[in-house]
Amino acid sequence: MTTTTSSASRKLTLDDIADARAYERERSELRADVIELRRRRRVQLGAFVSVSFENRETVRYQIQEMARVEKLFTDEAISDELDAYNPLVPEIGELKATLFIELTSDDSIRTWLPKLVGIERAICLRLEDGTEVRAVPERNHAAQLTRSDVTSAVHYLEFTFSPAEIDVFADGPVELVCELSAYREHARLTENAIGELLGDLVGG
């Protein structure tokens, strides 16, 4: 399969963010849509790690909710949120994701967060031909990872594909893999998930 791509940037601007009153009118419908969107784009990886692939809609919702909760009403305040969250919007040839370590007790947190140091560099997408498209930490997030003895419960990842890798991805199957020695797990993406993420990669 040969894919084609569009070069238009997907980054959000001030014009994409509704003001407080307009957002309240659309919030219930948007929230329901994004919950369903996130369900399709979420992959469970083992017992307590999940990976949620982001796109323009999920990031816009996050900014709208932050503005609502923090009562951000000025262009300057919204611009700060855009600067913080726009790196999670994938451009053509990219996938962006949030990795969650979902631990619920103090004991499990104390046990596992030290064991999972480096998990943000141990994730890849394994394609049918054996190619591994490896995740790297999103640049701003990587700069914040200053502790060597314990990891964060949330990581922001990015995957960059060549055109040939996009073609192989499109044909499937695809596995999401964690190769960390303390947490070796893999999960096969559904056909629906592959189709959803292919839209990120090629602009569909």
φ, ψ of residue 147 to 5 degrees: the values are -95, 135
Structural domain including 27 reads: 14-202
Peptide bond into 173 cis (omega under 30): yes
Residue 8 lies in a domain: no
For 144-160, how does the pLDDT look when each residue is reduced to its tens digit (9 = 90+)?
665 778 999 999 999 99
Residue 194 has pLDDT above 70, yes or no: yes
Residue 3 lies in a domain: no
* Tally of CB atoms within 10 A around 120: 22
* Tally of CB atoms within 10 A around 204: 12
Q: If you average pLDDT over residues 13-39, what whole number do you get?
A: 95
For 68-80, how does the pLDDT look when each residue is reduced to its tens digit (9 = 90+)?
999 998 999 999 9
Assign 25 a pLDDT band (cuts: 50, 70, 90). Answer: very high
Residue 46 lies in a domain: yes
Could you tell me the pTM of the whole model?
Answer: 0.90
Residue 146 lies in a domain: yes
- The number of distinct structural domains making up the chain is 1
Residue 43 lies in a domain: yes
Residue 5 has pLDDT above 60, yes or no: no
